[in-house]
Amino acid sequence: MTTHTNLLGGPDPTYLPENEAAFRLLDAESVPAAEVAAQHPTFSPAWAALAEEAFSAGRVIESYAYARTGYHRGLDALRRNGWKGHGPIPWSHRANQGFLRCLAVLARAAEAIDEKDEAERCRQFLRDSDPAAYAELLG
């Protein structure tokens, strides 16, 4: 992991710890996301996969619930790792991607159920966390 000097005086980027066992189940072993979430309930990438799958299938309320769960699990993890409620959450760091994906699906699902204020807050949070994540996921 590379650390960068922040020349603007803002908070340093937050890098969530890797959960190699959960990533292996989800990626290399192709264990269904629901099983990975059951075995590793704090693992946001599993919740993101569930949310994305549900949204793609038109199950918006289910997608919203999965995304919100992954979002809150991610917030908990970020806080445990020094995040103070603002500052960069780099998309380039694999362990951060589950949280950021949940945030993007939450924005889309909130929009779909006419929660426009929440959708905009989620979009802005994603932009503030990492513009590259916003471009990749919602751009």
User: pLDDT value at position 62?
Assistant: 98
**How confident is the model over 36-51, as a mean pLDDT?**
98
User: pLDDT value at position 9?
Assistant: 73
- 126 alpha-carbon distance from chain centroid: 9
Does residue 1 carry a pLDDT above 70? no
Q: What is the pLDDT of residues 60-109, one digit of tens each?
A: 999 999 999 999 999 999 999 999 999 999 999 999 999 999 999 999 99
H or E stretch at 45: helix 44-56
User: pLDDT value at position 6?
Assistant: 53
Does residue 130 carry a pLDDT above 80? yes
Q: Does residue 37 contact residue 47 with C-beta atoms inside 8 Å?
A: yes
**How confident is the model over 18-26, as a mean pLDDT?**
97
